[in-house]
Structure 1
Amino acid sequence: MAVAPEEHPAEDLARLAELHGVATSYRPAPDRTVQVSASAVTAALAALGVDAGGPDAVRTALAARERELRERLLPPTVVQWSGAEPATALTALPALAALPAGTRLRVETEDGEERIVEERAGEQRAGKERAGEEGALIADLPLGVHRLTATAPDGRTGEACLVVAPDRLPAPPGRSYGLLVQLYSLLSRRSWGMGDLGDLAELAGWAGHTAGAGFVQVNPLHAAVPGAPTDPSPYRPSSRRFPDPVHLRIEDIPEFAHVEDRERLSALLERAGRLRAAVLDKGALIDRDAVWELKREALEQVLAVPLGPGRQAAYDAFRAAHGRALDDHATWCALAEVHGSDWHRWPDGLRDPRSAATARARSALADRVEFHARLAWLTDGQLRAAQRAAREAGMPVGIVHDLAVGVHPAGADAWAQQDVFAAGMSVGAPPDAFNARGQDWGLPPWRPDRLAATGHAPYRDLLRALFRYAGALRIDHVMGLFRLWWVPQGSPPTDGTYVHYDAEAMLALLALEATRAGAVVIGEDLGTVEPGVREALQRRGVLGTSVLWFERDWEGDGRPLPPERWRADCLATATTHDLPPTAARLTGDHVDLRDRLGLLTRSAAEERAEATADAAEWLALLGSLGLLDSPAAGPPGSDEEEEIRAVHRFLLRTPARLIGVWLPDGLGDRRPQNLPGTWDEYPNWRLPVADSDGRPVPLEELVASPRLRALLDVLRRPDAGPTT
């Protein structure tokens, strides 16, 4: 129950909130502190299972939390960074510094080996308890997620997850540039109305072999929540752990060649051709639901073909590796076919994935569960094939996949992992300079306490699944590893508060899984960032994201930041999927678009004047650096092709490890893929890549575009690189 601030002893509520990682204030700027409401704090605590509904409840909860922290021997997770010099013994770690003298520590490693250290104070003795071996130092623990047990002299015991992680994540193998594209928008003459994994493999092969690119970055390919219509945003998925089979290239599935009803399959291919032609030749929007309807019909036939012995063994291994998580995902998909895609509206017994009713339904729907499990396996296989194609084309990184910040509340992950999600809460963002009303993304957050109690198992499993097929991983809103803005359902985003996570554990697990996969990690760290976060990410080797138009000397005169002052550990780009393409930025078309949709908060004349001045200031810097081959005499956009090339010459002058090229920029496309602040006013996530006239360009024409090739020639020059 929410209560008015004056009913609480402020200091007790603040202390209780602090002990549970709930913020009572935040700083949107170094010189400004904002106090959050007591109702927001109380609601966040309630979502964490803490009753703060009155002064007595606050005092009781505070006493209980202080007693719990005082009496426990170990925190939920202990991190030991490997590679630091000198090597650190476990009992010297800050998390274990308060252990009583004589506490006995036992570690069970991932491979079942047991090690023991005795004596918190005085000389430590270390050894092995397997096969009678002696002398192995506890500081020499292997990388991994181990189990730590502490036994105090008074008999108290405690357990913790012990993460031994490398000091830093893998670095990019040299400096390279790559293409950024929303996969659905990349149609070829072979795809079924939206880009697919066959198109991704083709683009990667061409970009690596012919254009000298080092990577291709795509949008999240997570499984979507089916609907009527399906939410087209790739950032509100049903599941982040399993990919969406809508991206399958049906003809590339080996069993496709053995489908018996060729006439029916031929009819589906004809319908797919009409759907593709509607987008590429007639200007229709991408219709994900229509694409999936066709692919599902085809897959019903393809999956009726028995697997050969080798394929069956590979599928069985996949099912065993993913275990209950895959069973839950496939079960949700099967139940959604019967009861609809919002599990909150299912019959009572089916809302619990562990109930007897769900077990009976899983058995009754065994064929459909098997169907959806097979789809996950097939999609995983084509994702790995795309990464192989990229590496075989010479790409040092390959495919960069995108991890969304959360999942849809009605989807498979929210159903299967209810115990680790915060009920009644949604992730968003507080008010800032770009959105005075704040943001509510409609995504349920993980509970940090429950996540920690599992040893962060859902997070570990998610990372491991994505790294199966990723050369690099982009983490959307990477600041969420540290804290997230929780908004109580039914409240405006302004009435939220930050809830903190165990950032050290999250980073350690990220470093561990990325190292095991040999993958790079890029954090999307745009917008308001808590002090110290970028530094912590950089220290561990997580690359940041730097977008040209935002890189100004904000602590000085506000002018564009010269290239030598950009950070090196980043992916540097001219734009993103949420921002205007570079041609629109230069010509002011993005202002005209927002004006037509009624999204401007000032007069169109004021917005245009500011946009023109911004572009002119950047072009003046490019000209002063000699990056414009032939500076235009007119306003920004007078020679947009040359100006776009100059923008990318500038990015090459920075020390950035990775340079990203928004693929539509190579064709002059002026339309953003997503226009924040709109829903049905603009066709977000449904536009094919197009040229400067808005004409869709299929992959086969795109790779032959003189304009695109001229831009990529700038980036592949052997002498291109940062100035020193």
Structure 2
Amino acid sequence: MAAALDDEELARLADLHGVATSYRPAPDRTVAVPASAVVAALAALGVDAGTPSAVRTALADRERVLRERLLPPTLVHWAGDARGPAALAALPPGTRLHVETEQGEEREGVQELPQELPQELPQGLPLGVHRVTATAPDGRTGHAFLIVAPDRLPAPAGRSYGLLVQLYSLLSRRSWGMGDLGDLAELAGWAGRTAGAGFVQVNPLHAAVPGAPTDPSPYRPSSRRFPDPVHLRIEEIPEFAYVADQSRLRALLERADRLRADVLDKGALIDRDAVWELKREALELVLRVPLGPGRQAAYDAFRAEEGQALEDHATWCALAEAHGSEWQRWPAGLRDPRSAETARARAELAGRVDFHARLAWLTDGQLRAAQRVAREAGMPVGIVHDLAVGVHPEGADAWAQQDHFAAGMSIGAPPDAFNARGQDWGLPPWRPDRLAASGHAPYRHLLRALFRYAGAVRIDHVMGLFRLWWVPQGSPPTEGTYVHYDADAMLALLALEASRAGSVVIGEDLGTVEPGVRETLQRRGVLGTSVLWFERDWEGDGRPLPPERWRADCLATATTHDLPPTASRLTGDHVDLRDRLGLLTRPAADERAEATADAAEWLALLGSLGLLDSPAAGPPGTDEEAEVQGVHRFLLRTPARLIGVWLPDGVGDRRPQNMPGTWDQYPNWRLPVADAQGRPVPLEELTASPRLRALLEVLRDPADPGGAGGAAGPAG
């Protein structure tokens, strides 16, 4: 039986492996985690703590390793810091250092790192991920990765506003039943040139796990490293024009017309599986067309650059076609990406592996093209891509990188004010020890791939760079514990890759945040996320926070994909929806009264600041369009560097894209952008909408006090 949590030896062992034995949901409250959760987390890290004697043995082993090692697995040096990593400064006198830089140079020395790395690094080690070998006078050696990173991430160029949208929901009259990368480029080109927007933020476009049906959530992807080809605009693939079987292609285009019409004209839900089935058939035809010499050279270069990661991803896709997506149920030999059986299968399925590698290349190309369109339209940021917090346990990343994932665990959240039962997201966590031993290679390569087509990246649950709530398989989320990561290394790699790409980083830091995390993120240049309805003086009287007291280093918005649209919040429709879905924990009348009071309090503040053209005499929602504009005028009064406009707010959409706590009770992730009556609004009509144009004019009008385009606005 596991030792009790108050056992000092178990607590010390857990601490040495970054496993929490308690946490603080509030400054004045400490909660002890179950001993079973600590033991399970340690087991997932390869540490046996199942008995008191096993704890003593494991503790002695860990203390010996820490005592005898010369270097930790990963070191960090921030440019601008005159001091080097403490681990190098603490090496025994006379220790020799050998550094192999990422750029292929070699350096030797016996100095501590503060002398090797002058403050500005003009002649010191360059930015990058280097290898350090230390040899002590007694013959001991140690190896480490050394991350040399810029002191801060890139900042936005001035102040701007942008549009937030779930790409699948943005259908045009040219898309095949869901929004695609052609639609994204069209929106970005229009928003930049006509509306003066600085960015467009979309949901994660990571590859999904195929299924029947496919999990529609973009936050449970098969792979975060590679994008999903379902987003391709088929007609914009150069080889499309040379397809030999034109009659079959015409038949597919006719089916696409019907699929699109079902959503836009008949009110059907977005059917991702039907869209992918149609596009896959078309892609089978398009990819039979030989590539020209230049295109072939570009594809070959992409495969060489992506290397083993792309081979693994494409192999998983090919094997999933043959054996289903649940790789844990594949023939035993195929469950190991490095087995001889997998190597044979890869050779036998070479054609399908090439097919899926080509799809990754084509999608990457259209993603880059969308960013080029955005920048050419004058956007200082361009496309903001979303990085999900984890991957599906049955997906390609979990198969290819299984040595880096903690078996038998999933991530989630502990109980809080919004969910007393906690949350289990069903996503396997990375092992911090394996990440550190590899120089955080999977994370580093993921960032590099994402930044090459992103003007900015939003990191979902950015607190996960510091710690994640691990839930043992079979246990409720209340019986989990926090496991800590090397946040300094994770942030250093983020700064390194973002600076190489010139990209901005936005952290989704809503909810319970560990003390000091927001301050650390701000110091390194990671913008936070501030949502109007949550910005209250929680340490004072609880009233809405005046605009001048908002933080500057953030993306400020009225809502998100998990929250009610602004019109729904103002009218109270969101309470009625939650009531219909059985999600209320109190009487509906009480919930409605509280929601009305909340909206009225905000509108009173807006009115006192002169942000409502004509304050309505009735309850919230009486003059809905004017109130939505007033909300965004308020956001402009804050010093926030970026202002986000939920695109459905521009046409009065009432429906959230996702209702947390529901699965089949609500059509999560399957709704097209719609107007106040629920009628789908295609891209062509959306960009012509007088209501949307009036809202965006508020944000760009130089004469508007605090406008994003006006000299009167705060500089941030």
**What range describes the TM-score normalised by the shorter chain of this pair?**
over 0.9
Deviations 1:326-345 (A, max 9, x none): 00000000000000011001
1:458-537 equivalence runs, <5 A: 458-537=442-521
1:13-24 equivalence runs, <5 A: 13-24=10-21
Aligned residue number for residue 366 of structure 2: 382
Secondary structure at 1:240's aligned position in 2? strand
Q: Distance in 1 between matches of 2:57 and 2:680?
A: 63
Matched, 1:696 2:688: no
AA partner of residue 227 (structure 1): G
Aligned residue number for residue 711 of structure 1: 695
Deviations 1:527-582 (A, max 9, x none): 00000000000000000000000000000000000000000000000000000000
Equivalent of residue 107 in structure 1, options 72, 95, 99: 99
Q: Distance in 1 between matches of 2:713 and 2:323?
A: 57
Deviations 1:22-44 (A, max 9, x none): 00000000000000011000000
Matched, 1:70 2:54: no
Deviations 1:641-662 (A, max 9, x none): 0000000000000000000000
Secondary structure at 1:237's aligned position in 2? coil
Equivalent of residue 410 in structure 1, options 372, 391, 394: 394
Aligned residue number for residue 602 of structure 2: 618
Aligned residue number for residue 555 of structure 1: 539
CA distance 1:606–1:287, change in 2 (3 Å): same
Q: Distance in 1 between matches of 2:631 and 2:205?
A: 29
Equivalent of residue 96 in structure 1, options 88, 110, 127: 88
Q: Distance in 2 between matches of 1:311 and 1:616?
A: 59
Aligned residue number for residue 132 of structure 1: none
Matched, 1:400 2:375: no
Deviations 1:603-655 (A, max 9, x none): 00000000000000000000000000100000000001000000000000000
Q: Distance in 2 between matches of 1:126 and 1:173?
A: 33
Following TM superposition, by how much is the alpha carbon of 1:722 offset from its aligned partner in structure 2, in angstroms?
4.0
Q: Distance in 2 between matches of 1:405 and 1:125?
A: 38
Following TM superposition, by how much is the alpha carbon of 1:700 offset from its aligned partner in structure 2, in angstroms?
0.3
Q: Is this contact kept in 2: 1:344–1:351, CA < 8 A? A: yes
Q: Distance in 2 between matches of 1:140 and 1:716?
A: 45
Following TM superposition, by how much is the alpha carbon of 1:9 offset from its aligned partner in structure 2, in angstroms?
6.8
Aligned residue number for residue 639 of structure 1: 623
Aligned residue number for residue 268 of structure 1: 252
Equivalent of residue 51 in structure 1, options 48, 51, 65: 48
Q: Distance in 1 between matches of 2:58 and 2:486?
A: 21
TM-score in terms of structure 1 length: 0.96
CA distance 1:605–1:38, change in 2 (3 Å): same
Deviations 1:639-687 (A, max 9, x none): 0100000000000000000000000000000000000000000000000
Aligned residue number for residue 675 of structure 1: 659
AA partner of residue 38 (structure 2): V
Equivalent of residue 279 in structure 1, options 243, 263, 268: 263
Equivalent of residue 320 in structure 1, options 297, 301, 304: 304
1:576-615 equivalence runs, <5 A: 576-615=560-599
Following TM superposition, by how much is the alpha carbon of 1:104 offset from its aligned partner in structure 2, in angstroms?
1.2
Secondary structure at 1:227's aligned position in 2? coil
Aligned residue number for residue 130 of structure 1: none
Following TM superposition, by how much is the alpha carbon of 1:4 offset from its aligned partner in structure 2, in angstroms?
4.7
Following TM superposition, by how much is the alpha carbon of 1:117 offset from its aligned partner in structure 2, in angstroms?
2.3
Following TM superposition, by how much is the alpha carbon of 1:111 offset from its aligned partner in structure 2, in angstroms?
1.6
Q: Distance in 2 between matches of 1:397 and 1:126?
A: 36
CA distance 1:39–1:188, change in 2 (3 Å): same
| Structure 2: gaps spanning 5 or more residues | none
Aligned residue number for residue 367 of structure 1: 351
Q: Distance in 1 between matches of 2:220 and 2:397?
A: 11
1:564-583 equivalence runs, <5 A: 564-583=548-567
AA partner of residue 225 (structure 1): V
Once structures 1 and 2 are overlaid, which stretch shifts more, 100-109 or 236-245? 100-109
Secondary structure at 2:645's aligned position in 1? strand
AA partner of residue 406 (structure 2): A
CA distance 1:125–1:225, change in 2 (3 Å): closer
Q: Distance in 2 between matches of 1:356 and 1:179?
A: 49
Secondary structure at 1:140's aligned position in 2? coil
CA distance 1:115–1:434, change in 2 (3 Å): same
Matched, 1:31 2:15: no
AA partner of residue 372 (structure 2): R
AA partner of residue 183 (structure 1): L
Q: Distance in 1 between matches of 2:367 and 2:692?
A: 26
Q: Distance in 1 between matches of 2:568 and 2:115?
A: 67
CA distance 1:9–1:629, change in 2 (3 Å): closer
1:104-253 equivalence runs, <5 A: 104-120=96-112, 140-253=124-237
Kindly report structure 1 stretches of 4+ aligned residues shifted beyond 6 Å: 124-127, 136-139
Q: Distance in 2 between matches of 1:701 and 1:466?
A: 31
AA partner of residue 96 (structure 1): L
Q: Distance in 1 between matches of 2:88 and 2:97?
A: 10
Q: Is this contact kept in 1: 2:116–2:125, CA < 8 A? A: no
Q: Is this contact kept in 1: 2:128–2:149, CA < 8 A? A: yes
Secondary structure at 2:357's aligned position in 1? helix
1:321-360 equivalence runs, <5 A: 321-360=305-344
Q: Is this contact kept in 2: 1:431–1:439, CA < 8 A? A: yes
| Structure 1: gaps spanning 5 or more residues | 128-135
Following TM superposition, by how much is the alpha carbon of 1:110 offset from its aligned partner in structure 2, in angstroms?
1.1
Deviations 1:282-320 (A, max 9, x none): 000000000000000000000000000000000000000
Q: Is this contact kept in 2: 1:583–1:668, CA < 8 A? A: yes
CA distance 1:35–1:139, change in 2 (3 Å): farther
Q: Is this contact kept in 1: 2:182–2:233, CA < 8 A? A: yes
Q: Distance in 2 between matches of 1:471 and 1:606?
A: 44
CA distance 1:9–1:557, change in 2 (3 Å): closer
Q: Distance in 2 between matches of 1:659 and 1:675?
A: 24
Following TM superposition, by how much is the alpha carbon of 1:514 offset from its aligned partner in structure 2, in angstroms?
0.1
Aligned residue number for residue 79 of structure 1: 76
Following TM superposition, by how much is the alpha carbon of 1:17 offset from its aligned partner in structure 2, in angstroms?
0.2
AA partner of residue 237 (structure 2): I
Q: Is this contact kept in 2: 1:564–1:723, CA < 8 A? A: no
Identity of aligned residues (%): 85
Following TM superposition, by how much is the alpha carbon of 1:16 offset from its aligned partner in structure 2, in angstroms?
0.1
Secondary structure at 2:604's aligned position in 1? helix
Q: CA RMSD in A?
A: 1.4
Q: Distance in 2 between matches of 1:488 and 1:74?
A: 31
Following TM superposition, by how much is the alpha carbon of 1:125 offset from its aligned partner in structure 2, in angstroms?
7.7
Following TM superposition, by how much is the alpha carbon of 1:5 offset from its aligned partner in structure 2, in angstroms?
4.5
AA partner of residue 35 (structure 1): A
Q: Is this contact kept in 2: 1:117–1:125, CA < 8 A? A: no
Q: Is this contact kept in 2: 1:118–1:125, CA < 8 A? A: no
Q: Is this contact kept in 1: 2:163–2:644, CA < 8 A? A: yes
Following TM superposition, by how much is the alpha carbon of 1:138 offset from its aligned partner in structure 2, in angstroms?
9.8
Q: Distance in 2 between matches of 1:139 and 1:614?
A: 58
